[in-house]
Structure 1
Amino acid sequence: MQQSWNSDRRRTAIGRSTLSVPARQALADHQLNSDRTILDYGCGRGGDVTSLRRLDCKVSGWDPYYSPSTPLASSDVVLLTYVLNVIEDPAERRQTLKQAWNLATTVLIVSARLTWEKAKVRGQQFGDGLLTSRQTFQHLFSSNELRTYVEEVTGTRCISAAPGTVYAFKDDSARLGYLAHRIVPDAEWLASADTTSAIASLVDYVERRGRPPHVEELPRPMAEQLAHLKPGELKRLIRDSADADEVAEGAKRTTLNTLLFLAVELFNSRGPFSSLPLSVQLDVRSFFSSYKEACQRSDRLLLKLRDDTYIRGAMNASSVGKITPTALYVHRRAIDQMPTVLRLYEHCASVAAGRPQYWTIAKLKHQGRAVSWLDYPDFDKDPHPRISSSYLVDLKTLETSHMSYANSANRPLLHRKHEFLGPDDPDVPCYRRLTQSELRAGLYKNPHLIGTETGWEAELIRCGRKLRGHRLLRRTED
């Protein structure tokens, strides 16, 4: 460590009353739970450790200044949260990452500050970062740089879980299990208090998945409730109770999800059949003639991402989302209803550079390959929601950019909210009625004026209208 300029890393540690963003992401991704041992390596003041203990997690924290006496022992999960960016010596930075990797037995979770935060960090150039006025150091990573750096040091393929957060799995099957969960979430089983309800839950699964579950996929209580039934008898009960059309639709959906998973897996490097999660193996066996055939079909799907004409055709054919001359905009509630190639498009961007934790609408460009996740936090209650932030990933260069509108006095806003959703979304009728009222009132006659807060308000005044919730009213003179 270079001491000539009195680096004081302890000053970078902040007190936390709630979980850090990376820890919240890891909880949401089921990487942190009460069944795993967790080590916060470089825990600072220990805010995450305290919060995770409240959640009944088996967690310990080590820090060279605040908790140096904590024994360093291998743990299922190691958190390396905002540590790499404060180490000014590249060799020590690399060694710290190696040590954290060696301590992890299941997954290492690495997070760092990103280049878009440069405006918040004031200082002079020092080495590959900045020396701040508080005598601390900051090396700001790009999303792609962080993922590539972790892969290089650990020697394993990594996944960007969110901007600035990377997962490095010790076992490739664990990585694929996480990837599969992101694309095909774990089955939700109906409650089963007795044999009758257990059979009903089983039938529901078959209709949604398109195939019967393997015994290892069953929740243990359900397996015990059905243990007295012979396999042939159970098959007959399913055949007699399940709706054939629903099963066929479930099979189609699962086939497409499997192709999507295998295509994303190839984008992030594909392993042998035996490395796939059990549920995916069973899907391949049920809906494809072989693993080879499934891979070939997914490869063709991935190749279609290069074809602008095909992508534009898929966007035009999509039953969900708003298409413009440059992109398709889709609400997160409708994202899984897009054509499979467009879902692949969005997933590849998320695996490469991380999907942000908070977002409302995904924007997919039809020329070039770039995905933006736009956050409109008040989408449901605001008739014309204002944008809060945007995060863009260029799939050709893997460069990212972030824009915050928190301090903007004239934010962009949305119109025709129903167009971003799926046709069966329960909010569509309400949003469509508002759009029709605004059209009749002449509020859309000057589309170049209404894209921002001030322009929209001026048009409301011009037309003598005001909004109360999702109702358009005549403006009365005070």
Structure 2
Amino acid sequence: MARERWGSERRLTAISRGKLSAPARRAVLDHQIQPGSAVLDYGCGRGEDVRALRQMGCDATGWDPFYRPEGRLESAPVVLLTYVLNVIEDRDERRRALQQAWELAHTVLIASARLTWERAKVNGETYGDGLLTQRRTFQHLYGASELRSYVEDVTGVRAVSASPGIIYAFKDDTARLGYLARRIVTDEEWLASDDMASALAALVDHMERRGRLSRLEEMPLPMAQRLGPMRPAELQRLVRESADPGKVVEGAKRTTLNTLLFLALELFNGRGPFSSLPLTVQLDIRAFFSSYKEASRRADRLLLKLRDDTYIRGAMNASSVGKLTPTALYVHRRAVERMPTVLRLYEHCAAIAAGRPEAWTVTKLCHQGRAVSWLDYPNFDTDPHPRLLTSYQVNLKTFDTSHRSYDGSDNRPLLHRKHEFLHPDDPDTGKYRRLTDAEVRAGLYANPHLIGTENGWEGELARCGRALRGHRLVRVHD
């Protein structure tokens, strides 16, 4: 039976958090919101993000039809649309809200929504394309890829999933590509330079990490001004003489692979002209490739390799990091950047398509099919056999996502052989390997089908008369 049109109690969905919302926090961590940034929170509710961002030095304003109808509704470089799309029951009005928020944004729109895996938290009955709760509020829960597609459809630009349920839509390709570049090269901060000597040390460090001389225009402005009086030829000579040649070679190799990874990911998310690339990427291409065309051709081949099962399995077999099983490669967060470039691309494509969760410990790359999971083991470093808290998976063929929480479960999955997930150079690898060797000698891995969950593992410990004291295995005496 058709329901008559009604107005939901949207004001009741505005909650008090006492801290930044997840989308605002993600935007701060991603440098989309910085001190001094002008931010409009469109549909700000009780205005908690506005207050918190002002305390951080931002020029934040908010507007809400119920709580702040008198607020300034003016355009801003950054516009937040935080959990607004969920609560509008009328599809046309929902679309208009997204369109207006997009029109108000100069640089980036940050749109977020609750996702389908939260269905168990919403007590309501079906109404239209969502749920009507007992409080007469409305919730339309999105699939992660559905939200991204919806934002792209309304804005007409390629959007990026910053995290599950958080979408960035950029007004121009330069900002979008700059964001993608920062996701791939995460350690490009310059060393502090308070005088000429420290400025030269920062240039040497940059050359060793990047594999090439830096240009004046890519340096932080105070450093460029400090070094400005020096003749370029003399400055380059000093840097070359001071840099470690071995580190420069390794830096060049790393930068070449990172550039290919970036260009392949750029193609996956929509490639722009050379002039739209971040300046540092342009300089890397000029230093390590004959042309943008040649670099793009090599990156395209790399992206095509993702379709080749044999190549992917070969890359997993050749990887110096990770635990390889008959179906997937498992790699710890600290070792992900040490994977072969094609596997890093595999993980990045999934993250761009449907978002990488903020809390995760191990990534799982399937070589049977194309799916990436991020698994959260909060106590990986302290628990000799950490328990799984959540898993989030993205299917790269369909872009379907799934999420599972083991919070409250009395028989959670757990990990063994922790050293296998890390790089051999990791400082904890030796300690974890010694524990594994002791467990093997004690016979704890004799029944591998039993030890994958808490109950089975505890049973095997009891059978073998062993207990764990931190990362030491000890005998238990009756």
TM-score (norm 1): 0.98
Distance in 1, Cα, partners of 2:165 & 2:7: 28
Alignment of 1:22-421 (within 5 A): 22-185=23-186, 187-421=188-422
Larger CA deviation: 192-201 vs 297-306: 192-201
Question: Distance between the aligned counterparts of 2:103 and 2:221, measured in 1?
Answer: 34
How big is the shift at 1:301? Answer: 0.2
CA drift of 1:411 comes to 0.3
**Cα deviation code 1:350-386 (max 9, x no counterpart):** 0000000110000000121000000001101111000
Contact preservation (8 Å) 2:75, 2:105:
yes
**Following the alignment from structure 1 to structure 2, what is the Cα–Cα distance between the partners of residues 294 and 3?**
58
- The alignment covers a number of residue pairs equal to 476
Distance 1:336 1:205, change over 3 A: same
Higher mean Cα deviation, 390-399 or 55-64?
55-64
Q: Is the 8 A contact 2:111 2:167 kept in 1?
A: yes
Q: Normalization by structure 2: what TM-score?
A: 0.98
User: What amino acid does structure 1 have at the position aligned with 2:76?
Assistant: S
User: Which whole-Å deviations, capped at 9, do the CAs of 1:56-111 have from their partners, x for residues lacking one?
Assistant: 22111111111111010111111001000100000000000011011111100000
CA distance in 2, matches of 1:248, 1:204: 13
Contact 1:16 1:48 in 2 (8 A): no
1:191-250 deviations in Å (ceiling 9; x for gaps): 323222221221111011000111122122322332232111111112211121211111
Match of 1:458 in 2: 459
Q: Which amino acid aligns with 2:476?
A: R
Gaps of 5+ in 2: none
Task: Say which is worse superposed, 123-132 or 95-104, in terms of deviation.
Answer: 123-132
Per-residue deviation at 1:3? 7.7
Structure 2 distance, partners of 1:451, 1:400, is 24
Q: Residue 17 of structure 2 corresponds to which residue in structure 1?
A: 16
Deviations 1:335-361 (A, max 9, x none): 000000000000000000000011000
CA–CA distance in structure 1, aligned partners of residues 467 and 177 of structure 2: 51
Output the CA distance in 1 between the equivalents of 2:345 and 2:110: 24
> Following the alignment from structure 1 to structure 2, what is the Cα–Cα distance between the partners of residues 5 and 92?
13
Q: Does structure 1 conserve the Cα–Cα contact (< 8 Å) formed by 2:36 and 2:57? A: no
Could you report, residue by residue, the CA deviation over 1:128-170 in whole angstroms, capped at 9, with x for unpaired residues? 1111111011111111111111011011110010000100011
Q: Contact 1:88/1:127 (CA < 8 Å) preserved in 2?
A: yes
AA matched with 1:380: D
CA distance in 2, matches of 1:246, 1:184: 17
Counterpart residue type for residue 177 of structure 2: L
Matches of 1:214 and 1:406, distance apart in 2: 51
Deviates more, 1:412-421 or 1:181-190: 181-190
**SS of 1:232 mapped into structure 2:** helix
Amino acid at match of 1:362: T
Q: How far did residue 6 of structure 1 move? A: 4.7
Q: How far, CA to CA, are the matches of 1:204 and 1:6 in structure 2? A: 60
The letter of the residue matching 1:37 is A
Deviations 1:300-322 (A, max 9, x none): 00000000000000000000000
Separation in structure 1 between the aligned mates of residue 61 and residue 222 of structure 2, nearest angstrom: 33
Verify the 8 A CA contact 1:405 1:411 in the aligned structure 2: yes
User: Where has structure 1 moved over 6 Å in runs of 4 or more?
Assistant: none
Instruction: Return the alpha-carbon distance in structure 2 between the equivalents of residues 367 and 317 of structure 1.
Output: 17
Superposition deviation, residue 120 in structure 1 = 1.3
Q: Distance in 1 between matches of 2:5 and 2:162?
A: 37
Which residue type is aligned with residue 380 of structure 2?
Answer: F
CA distance in 1, matches of 2:209, 2:374: 29
**Cα distance in structure 1, aligned partners of 2:191 and 2:272:** 33
- Name the Cα RMSD after superposition: 1.2
Cα distance in 2 for partners of 1:136, 1:3 equals 15
Q: Which amino acid aligns with 2:274?
A: F
CA distance in structure 2 between the partners assigned to 1:174 and 1:61 by the alignment:
24
For structure 1, the 5+ residue unaligned runs are none
Contact (CA 8 Å) 2:108, 2:169: kept in 1 or not? yes
Superposed displacement of residue 171, structure 1: 1.3
Identity %: 70
C-alpha separation in 2, matches of 1:191 and 1:8: 52
Letter in 2 for 1:159: V
User: In 2, are the aligned partners of 1:5 and 1:135 still within 8 Å (CA)?
Assistant: no
* Cα separation, 2, equivalents of 1:71 and 1:23: 19
**Is the Cα contact below 8 Å between 2:62 and 2:72 reproduced in 1?**
no
Q: CA deviation at 1:186?
A: 5.5
Farther-moved stretch of structure 1 (177-186 vs 141-150): 177-186
Match of 1:7 in 2: 8
Contact 1:41/1:62, CA 8 A, preserved across alignment? yes
Separation in structure 1 between the aligned mates of residue 196 and residue 73 of structure 2, nearest angstrom: 48
Partner Cα separation in structure 2 for residue 179 and residue 190 of structure 1: 22
